[in-house]
A and B are shown apart, each in its own frame.
Chain A
Amino acid sequence: MILLLAFGVLPILIALPVSATDMNLAGLADWSRIDFVGLENYRELFADRAFWQALTNTGIFALLGVPTVIVVSFVVALLLHRSENRFFRTLRAFYFAPAVTAIVAVSLVWGYLLNTQFGLVNHLLSTVGLPPAQWLSDPVLVKLSVALVAVWRGTGLNIIIFLAALKGIPREYLEAAELDGASGLRKIVSIVIPLLRFAFFFVAVTTVIAWLQFFDEPFVLTKGGPLGESTSVSLFLYQEGFSASRFGYASAGTLVLFLIIAGVTLLQLRARRSDADR
């Protein structure tokens, strides 16, 4: 409990004062070298083009990733739910597997698959007569590649959640609808989706948060390159904070990110409430 407070709540309280200083590596060793700079960090942050680029990229990633992850996980969960036999249970493991594997290993494997010189993906493209693509160095493609890997990794957990929720739907509802002559699609739209409203809500909130903090994939696949084209906000903060050791500056950005995430989450909660009132 104390640990959780120490590493969960306390850091935010620390970030607040630090964000108003010019703390850096020298300041870490000798506290007297830290100067109070007030809102200077924030002013610089909002004038920093790299920060805006990272913010835009994060928005693009979230717009690409969130709907894809939700739709893919739901459809796969629906299909997996059709049967309980051994074959389907084995298949489940395949879909979950990417979710539990280490990001470092995952990125190396994908980096190898997407390699421009000897990667498999480009080879497959060439066999169907398409030109090779610069998966990780083209400013537009790199966003797609990074998001693709994240989608691949992100669906497993959500499939588990949807499956657990699907199991909770009483069979009688579906049988009653069948007696009334509802088609398969109709049942999904009118019964399954409304009943899974909470699961959808939960998945949506966690997925949005996850994509706003998007970090691992660009960090290990591209280091945010080329020229910051795949840098997310989290990655930007990491680079400023730990590579450039500008703790104060990065803390300011950290709080901005926190406010964005808190804001978006609150919006979703509000939307959910008005939805429930209806």
Chain B
Amino acid sequence: MRIASPAIVGGVLGAGALLTAFPFLWMIFGSVKPRSESVEYPPRLLPQAPTLENFTQLFGQLDFGRYLVNTIAVVLISMAGVVFMAMAGYGFAKFRFRGRGFLFFLVLATMMIPVQVTMIPTYLLLNGLKLTNTLVGIAIPGLVSGFGVFLLRQFMSAVPTEMVEAARIDGAGEARIFWSVVLPLARPILAVQIVLTFIGAWNSFLWPLIIAGDDRLYTLSVAVSLLNRQIATSPSLQMAGSTLMVVPVLIVFVVFQRHIVRGFTLSGLK
């Protein structure tokens, strides 16, 4: 594919990357500006008098410590979903049972249905289970995803059936086989799932907003969105909140980038 020299392509891509990443830069610089500077016109990229007052205000007056703990709790609950998905994926990959094809079709079907379509019925369902206004209720709708089950099944189909059978002949129980043989073999795909689950749960916004009526249950995303509505809006405070939300995910993403890309390759989307 020689259209232009690599240097030009590199230059174009570099410029595009900077443009793409610019909002993040602006956010991080904005988060350490004092309020007066953040509403200054004309705006300046670099803060003149860097300060951490926005962060102290978030954690001091605005109770962001609690929201952070809530968010982490939701992320941890969601991790249980990875185990469920692994079990489902293993079941679909290695067991033959009546209705397997139909059930797997249903799993795929859920991937095609938009969230908003299921939003209200799911709310009614959670309400019926008395799970509204609880952290579990916030985490549950995102616990398992059709995409995750699909990804895990694809991977586990490749686990040699002989190994499972060998373990069975050696007298291992089904649970033991799952924990000691299948899960260790599936480690690469589990890493992908864990990262995706982390990102999904950390960022989830709509459910926390709908389910958490009580402000003690707010997650970071809900709290950050409310920064927009306070009367004396301070852009620098908003940027500080955004930084708090974005930076952990970016770190996780950069560290595990290769796993994520591999996950998509593994799923066979070619």
Q: Hey, which bits of chain A sit against chain B, CB under 8 A?
A: 1, 3-15, 18, 28, 76, 78-83, 87-88, 91-98, 100-113, 115, 117-120, 123, 126, 152, 160-161, 163-165, 167-168, 174, 184-185, 187-188, 192, 198-199, 202, 209, 212-213, 215-216, 220, 233-234, 237-238, 241-242, 247, 250-251, 254-255, 257-258, 261-262, 265
Q: Is the CB of B203 within 8 A of A101?
A: yes
Least Cβ distance of B137 to chain A in Å? 11
Say yes or no: A87-B39 contact (C-beta < 8 A), given A96-B253, A161-B264, A168-B270: no
Q: Is the CB of B199 within 8 A of A11?
A: no
Q: B46 within 8 Å of A by Cβ?
A: no
Distance of A12 Cα from B43 Cα, bound (Å): 49
Q: B69 within 8 Å of A by Cβ?
A: no
Least Cβ distance of A214 to chain B in Å? 10
Q: Is the CB of B117 within 8 A of A163?
A: no
Q: B171 within 8 Å of A by Cβ?
A: no
Q: Is the CB of B120 within 8 A of A4?
A: no
Partner of B3, one of A9, A28, A95, A185: A185
Q: Is the CB of B203 within 8 A of A165?
A: no
Q: Is the CB of B140 within 8 A of A3?
A: yes
Distance of A261 Cα from B114 Cα, bound (Å): 8
Q: Is the CB of B10 within 8 A of A87?
A: yes
Distance of A78 Cα from B9 Cα, bound (Å): 10
Q: Is the CB of A113 within 8 A of B257?
A: no
Say yes or no: A120-B26 contact (C-beta < 8 A), given A88-B10, A97-B250: yes
Q: Is the CB of A257 within 8 A of B6?
A: no
Q: Is the CB of B270 within 8 A of A199?
A: yes
Distance of A257 Cα from B119 Cα, bound (Å): 12
Query: Within 8 Å CB of B17, what residues of A?
Result: 91, 94-95
Kindly report which residue of chain A lies nearest to residue B42, judged by CB atoms.
A123
Kindly report which residue of chain A lies nearest to residue B45, judged by CB atoms.
A120
Say yes or no: A161-B269 contact (C-beta < 8 A), given A12-B113, A12-B117, A104-B225: yes
Distance of A113 Cα from B110 Cα, bound (Å): 37
Least Cβ distance of B117 to chain A in Å? 5
**Which one of A12, A94, A188, A198 has the highest number of Cβ atoms from chain B below 10 Å of its Cβ?**
A94
Q: Is the CB of B40 within 8 A of A118?
A: yes
Q: Is the CB of A112 within 8 A of B245?
A: no
Q: Is the CB of A112 within 8 A of B88?
A: no
Convert B108-126 into 0s and 1s, putting 1 for each residue whose CB lies closer than 8 angstroms to a CB of A: 0110111111111111110
Query: Within 8 Å CB of A220, what residues of B?
Result: 205, 225, 228
Q: Is the CB of A100 within 8 A of B253?
A: yes
Q: Is the CB of B117 within 8 A of A247?
A: no
Distance of A98 Cα from B24 Cα, bound (Å): 9
Can you name 29 A-B pairs with beta carbons within 8 Å?
A8-B107, A8-B113, A9-B110, A11-B119, A11-B121, A78-B1, A80-B13, A83-B10, A92-B257, A94-B18, A96-B253, A97-B24, A101-B24, A102-B202, A109-B26, A112-B26, A112-B239, A117-B41, A152-B23, A163-B261, A165-B269, A174-B1, A184-B2, A185-B3, A187-B1, A216-B206, A237-B116, A257-B116, A257-B117
Distance of A92 Cα from B185 Cα, bound (Å): 29
Query: Within 8 Å CB of A13, what residues of B?
Result: 121
Query: Within 8 Å CB of B106, what residues of A?
Result: 4-5, 8-9
**Which one of B2, B114, B253 has the highest number of Cβ atoms from chain A below 10 Å of its Cβ?**
B114
State which residues 1-46 of B face A: CB under 8 Å: 1-3, 6, 9-10, 12-14, 16-18, 20-21, 23-24, 26-27, 30, 38-43
State which residues 218-250 of B face A: CB under 8 Å: 221-222, 224-225, 227-228, 235, 238-239, 241-243, 245-246, 249-250
Q: Is the CB of B114 within 8 A of A109?
A: no
Query: Within 8 Å CB of B242, what residues of A?
Result: 102, 104-106, 108-109
Q: Is the CB of B238 within 8 A of A118?
A: no
Partner of A241, one of B120, B202, B203: B120
Say yes or no: A102-B245 contact (C-beta < 8 A), given A97-B253, A123-B43, A202-B269: yes
Say yes or no: A164-B116 contact (C-beta < 8 A), given A108-B242, A251-B121: no
Say yes or no: A93-B140 contact (C-beta < 8 A), given A14-B125, A79-B13, A164-B264: no
Q: Is the CB of A105 within 8 A of B257?
A: no
Kindly report which residue of chain A lies nearest to residue B126, judged by CB atoms.
A7
Query: Within 8 Å CB of B38, what residues of A?
Result: 118
Q: B210 within 8 Å of A by Cβ?
A: yes
Distance of A76 Cα from B16 Cα, bound (Å): 9
Distance of A108 Cα from B223 Cα, bound (Å): 12
Query: Within 8 Å CB of B146, what residues of A?
Result: 4, 8
Q: B75 within 8 Å of A by Cβ?
A: no
Partner of A14, one of B16, B40, B121, B243: B121
Least Cβ distance of B262 to chain A in Å? 9
Distance of A80 Cα from B10 Cα, bound (Å): 9
Query: Within 8 Å CB of B114, what residues of A?
Result: 209, 212-213, 234, 257-258, 261
Q: Is the CB of B42 within 8 A of A15?
A: no
Kindly report which residue of chain A lies nearest to residue B88, judged by CB atoms.
A1
Say yes or no: A234-B24 contact (C-beta < 8 A), given A95-B17, A164-B261: no
